[in-house]
Each structure stands twice: as C-alpha cells, then as structure tokens.
Amino acid sequence: MLGSLSPSRRRFVLSLLALTVAVVVAIAVAVVVTRESAVVPVAQAERGPVVMVPGYGGSPLALTELVAALERNGRDVTVVSLTGDGRGDLDNQAQALEETVSTALEQADAASVDVIGYSAGGVVARLWVRDHGGAAVARRVLTLGSPHHGTELAGVATDLTPDTCPEACQQLAPGSSLLNGLNAGDETPTGPLWVSIWTADDKVVTPPSSSELEGALNFSVQSVCPGVVVSHSELPRLGFVIAATVKQLSLAAPSLPSEQDCR
C-alpha cells in the first residue's frame, strides 16, 4: 500500500502513524501510573497517635480539654505549631502538619494517625490529605466547626478591609481559589474515614452548614442534642463534642451519636 504512494505522501503517512503510536503509548503509561499511585487505606483496626490542628491564629488553648480527654483514653496527642502565626498560607500550614505527623509516627512506631482539625485547622487537614501525603497514613480525619466552603466573615473582610485580612483569612473567603480547588471533585478523598461536627449557633463560620463535607459523617450538635446552645469557640470544649470525638476515633466505625449521648 505504501509502495504506491509518492515519497512525500509516504513520509506523511509514516509520520502520522508514528504520532498515533506515541499518543497511545503516552495514554497507556498515564493509566499505569495512575493505577500504581492509587491510595491504599490504612488499617482501621490499629490506632496510632492523634495529631490536632488548631484554628485560625494557631492557639492551642481551645483544645486543652479535648487533648486531656484523648490522653485519658490512652491516646498519644500532639498539637501542631502552625506557621505564619496560624494566619499564613494554609498550604504551608499543611506542610507543617505533615512534618508533625511524620515525627509522631516515628516516635510511636505507628503506621497510621488520626487527625483532628478545629476551625481553619480542618481545611489544613484536608489540604494535607490531598497534597502532602496524608491519604496514605491517615486513619480518620475529624473536623470541628471548619469552614470547608468558606465563611462570609472572611469574605467581607477580604472585600472591605483587605489590609486586616491575612493570607489565611483571604483563603477562607467563599469562592477563594484555594477552596474552589479543594472542593472540586471529591471533597473526601480515598484514604481516611471522615467526620465533620459543627454547631448551628456558629457566628464565625457563616453559614454553619459550610462545615458539611460530601462523603463524610456529618452532624451538628443541635441535630443530636436539640436546644443546646454552643458557640464556635465553645465547640471543642463542650462535653458532648469531646465524648463524640473520642468515640469517633475509637476502633468502632464512625456513627451518628444518639440523644442519650447528650446527657
């Protein structure tokens, strides 16, 4: 067939065939690489250390009672020291989380870790899972009052007083490039089991439903304990939330608490 073509036409056909073969090979390689890089979830029956990520500003004070409860439950707990005074780039904070997790795993000689993110710390935990290797070592990720889809307070600050809204503040505005990218596709990537707890009384994360994560076990305090009033700052100190957090990080699968747990 090629013999009947002119030399120039023959070269054109051969070049086209070579290009087609190259494209097919490239696609095959991409498929193989994707399959090889698929995340294998860690064992749920083995509990490692707990690493906690503070909220915006980086203060660990709001987490004191929760840390103590987890330690009474036999867990080794480390609180991350966030970069940029807890107000800098959230992706840099996710890298700080990765470094803390690596140290905690090495010290505990463990294969997996449970991560708790309070407020903006929950967004940091998600960035860590997606971009910093967390999917391969996280057993469970639990977030408390986290603005996964942004908070209108940050949006107002970004628009009206940008000089008083540091980088993390701007990244937590609804529709920011960071949140748009983080929420595109799968909000709860393969790897850990996901839990999100929040309060309907939240005046910091607005609207409070911003804390809902597709693919996670989601519940507000009030959906289980009607009539309970708890603010954003009080959330990780509430007895019900502390007990629920300890339970969600146990060996049993995450499950919705009952009204009896409110007592």
Q: Is 234 domain-assigned?
A: yes
Q: Is 40 domain-assigned?
A: no
Looking at 37-145, list the stretches that DSSP marks H as alpha helix, in order from N- to C-terminal side: 64-72, 90-108, 120-131
Q: Is 44 domain-assigned?
A: no
Query: Which pTM was predicted?
Result: 0.86
User: What counts of helices (H) and strands (E) characterise the chain?
Assistant: 9, 6
Q: Quick one: pLDDT at residue 38?
A: 86
Q: Quick one: pLDDT at residue 37?
A: 58
In order, the DSSP letters of 159-207 are: HH-GGGS-HHHHHTSTT-HHHHHHHSS-SS-SSSEEEEEE-TT-SSSSS
107 and 219 in a common domain: yes
Q: Quick one: pLDDT at residue 240?
A: 97
Nearest to 93 by CA among 70, 61, 125: 125
Q: Is 204 domain-assigned?
A: yes
135 and 28 in a common domain: no
256 and 190 in a common domain: yes
Q: Is 42 domain-assigned?
A: no
Structure tokens at 34: 């994707």
Residue 190 has φ and ψ, to the nearest 5°, of -55, 140
19 and 137 in a common domain: no
Residue 186 has φ and ψ, to the nearest 5°, of -85, 115
193 and 123 in a common domain: yes
111 and 10 in a common domain: no
CATH number at residue 109: 3.40.50.1820
User: Do residues 153 and 206 touch, judged by C-beta distance below 8 A?
Assistant: yes
222 and 104 in a common domain: yes
| Domain span holding position 257 | 50-262
15 and 70 in a common domain: no
Nearest to 225 by CA among 204, 208, 243, 207: 243
The number of domains in the chain is 2
Give pLDDT tens digits along the chain (263 positions): 545 555 555 554 445 555 453 433 344 444 333 433 588 999 999 999 999 999 999 999 999 999 999 999 999 999 999 988 899 999 999 999 999 999 999 999 999 999 999 999 999 999 999 999 999 999 999 999 999 999 999 999 999 998 999 999 999 999 999 999 999 989 999 999 999 999 999 999 999 999 999 999 999 999 999 999 999 999 999 999 999 999 999 999 999 999 999 98
Residue pLDDT, tens place only, 47-62: 999 999 999 999 999 9
64 and 12 in a common domain: no
Q: Is 118 domain-assigned?
A: yes
219 and 113 in a common domain: yes
Q: Quick one: pLDDT at residue 21?
A: 39
Residue pLDDT, tens place only, 128-154: 999 999 999 999 999 999 999 999 999
